[in-house]
């Protein structure tokens, strides 16, 4: 379940002098790619609009119904899974994780970019190394620790462990943004009567907004789509949409239509977020293009 990076606007086509064979091939290739990329999403959409008894037919039988969505959202009596709560859980832990990563990571990225300090490089590499190992490597010790600390099945516990995902991303992306800013900008602010923290907030920070938007969005998507951590570290209280969507497939009759509906609902927040910060994103994803 991922978001296709198709939020980037295509540049306006240049005025043509006749149709070129290269253009046709390029358009053809683009269309083929889009069919390939969007096919699973279309399949999911169809699946989510089917009724339970039409799921396993071997011929194409399709009477669109919103029953699956009703069931997922708990609007009928059949809803055994509290999906709405999982959805809210996902929102809380994903936004929480990104927020904390921004609060910690942005100043950290600035420090890494601007100051040479002992062990700085090692620290930076350690942060990156969190992403080397599969999450399964650390999940058992974390499970045991969380059980002892009482963090099991709590929002705080998930937010904390999500830092393994979101913090390195934000620190590494923003460090390169800060490095691309010429230090003279902040030095100028220092001479103009501002303190170092003020120079950081008033001069450097506004210039990396696009980077912050891009990094925050990527971090949010990774956090939102995280499966292993909530799967192992939550019970019924703090469970997230990824685990919740899958739970419809368990049991005697796998209810694929509900899973599909849940997955599509879960697609909405990252999509809305991407659209709402789109104007930063276009600049932000082209890393380091912050020239005056």
Partner 1 sequence: MALRGVRKEYGKTVALAGLDLEVADGEFFVLLGPSGAGKTTTLKCVAGLETPTAGRVEIGGRDVTEVEPNARRVAMAFENYALYPQETVYDNIAFPLRSKRYAQPPDVARALITQVAGTLGIGHLLERMPRELSGGQRQRVALARVMVRPADVLLLDEPLSHLDAKLRATMRAELKSLGELQHTTSLYVTHDYLEALALGDRIAILRDGKLVQVGSREELWRTPVNTFVATAFGQPRINLLRGVIARENDDTLFATEDGVVRLSLGRRDLAPGTAVELGLRPRDLLLGEMPGMATLRGQVYVVEPLGRQREVTVQIGGQRVALVTPQEDVVPDSLVTISAPPDRLLLFNAETGARMSAVGDDVPGDATAGIAAHG
Nearest approach, Cβ of 187 to partner 1 (angstroms)? 5
Cα separation, 232 vs 134, whole angstroms: 14
Tell me which residue has tokens 């832990």: 93
Cα separation, 195 vs 203, whole angstroms: 11
The token duo for 129 is 């190394």
**Per-position x/- string for 32-61, each x denoting binding to partner 1 as judged by CB under 8 A, each - no binding:** ------------------------------
Nearer to partner 1, 164 or 203 (CB): 203
- Under the binding rule (CB under 8 A), the answer on residue 289 touching partner 1 is no
DSSP string, 40-93: HHHHHHHHHTS-GGGTT-SS-------HHHHHHTT-STT--S-HHHHHHHHHHH
Nearest approach, Cβ of 94 to partner 1 (angstroms)? 29
Q: What residues between 140 and 159 interact with partner 1 by CB under 8 A?
A: none
Nearest approach, Cβ of 203 to partner 1 (angstroms)? 6
Nearest approach, Cβ of 98 to partner 1 (angstroms)? 23
The token duo for 243 is 């685990």
- Under the binding rule (CB under 8 A), the answer on residue 25 touching partner 1 is no
Cα separation, 226 vs 195, whole angstroms: 40
Nearer to partner 1, 170 or 204 (CB): 204
Nearer to partner 1, 207 or 243 (CB): 207
Cα separation, 175 vs 124, whole angstroms: 10
**DSSP 8-state symbol, 193:** T
Nearer to partner 1, 6 or 192 (CB): 192
Nearer to partner 1, 15 or 292 (CB): 292
Nearer to partner 1, 208 or 216 (CB): 208
> By C-alpha distance, which of 31, 41, 40 is closest to 268?
41
Nearest approach, Cβ of 199 to partner 1 (angstroms)? 9
**Per-position x/- string for 175-214, each x denoting binding to partner 1 as judged by CB under 8 A, each - no binding:** -------x-xx-xxxxxxxxx--x----x--xx-------
Those residues whose C-beta lies under 8 Å from the C-beta of residue 45, and which sit 6 or more positions away, are 260, 264
Nearest approach, Cβ of 287 to partner 1 (angstroms)? 17
Nearest approach, Cβ of 17 to partner 1 (angstroms)? 33
Count residues binding partner 1 (CB under 8 A). 19
Alpha helical stretches, state H, the chain: 21-48, 67-72, 83-114, 120-129, 135-149, 155-180, 184-191, 196-199, 205-207, 209-225, 228-233, 241-247, 256-276, 278-285
Nearest approach, Cβ of 109 to partner 1 (angstroms)? 19
Nearer to partner 1, 13 or 193 (CB): 193
- Under the binding rule (CB under 8 A), the answer on residue 292 touching partner 1 is yes
Q: Return residues touching partner 1 (CB under 8 A).
A: 182, 184-185, 187-195, 198, 203, 206-207, 290-292
């Amino acid at each position: 379940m991922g978001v296709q990076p198709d939020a980037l606007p295509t540049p306006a086509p240049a005025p043509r002098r006749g149709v070129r064979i290269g253009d046709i091939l390029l358009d053809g290739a683009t269309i083929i790619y889009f069919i390939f990329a969007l096919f699973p999403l279309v399949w999911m959409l169809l699946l989510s609009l089917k009724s339970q008894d039409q799921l396993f037919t071997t011929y194409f039988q399709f009477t669109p119904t919103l029953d699956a969505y009703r069931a997922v959202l708990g609007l009928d009596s059949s809803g055994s899974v509290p999906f709405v709560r999982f959805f809210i859980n996902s929102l809380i832990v994903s936004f929480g994780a990104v927020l904390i990563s921004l609060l910690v990571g942005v100043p950290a990225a600035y420090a890494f970019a601007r100051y040479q300090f002992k062990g700085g490089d090692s620290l930076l590499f350690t942060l990156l190394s969190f992403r080397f190992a599969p999450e399964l490597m650390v999940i058992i010790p974390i499970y045991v620790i969380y059980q002892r600390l009482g963090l099991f099945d709590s929002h705080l516990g998930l937010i904390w462990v999500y830092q393994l995902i979101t913090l390195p991303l934000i620190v590494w992306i923003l460090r390169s943004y800060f490095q691309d800013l010429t230090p003279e900008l902040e030095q100028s602010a220092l001479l103009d009567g501002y303190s170092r923290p003020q120079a950081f907030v008033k001069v450097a920070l506004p210039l990396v907004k696009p980077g912050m938007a891009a990094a925050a969005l990527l971090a949010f998507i990774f956090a939102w789509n995280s499966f292993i951590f909530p799967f192992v570290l939550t019970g019924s209280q703090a469970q997230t949409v990824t685990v919740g969507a899958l739970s419809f497939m368990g049991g005697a009759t796998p209810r694929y239509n509900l899973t599909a509906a849940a997955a599509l609902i879960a697609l909405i927040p990252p999509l809305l977020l991407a659209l709402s910060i789109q104007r930063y994103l276009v600049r932000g994803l082209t890393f380091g293009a912050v020239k005056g």
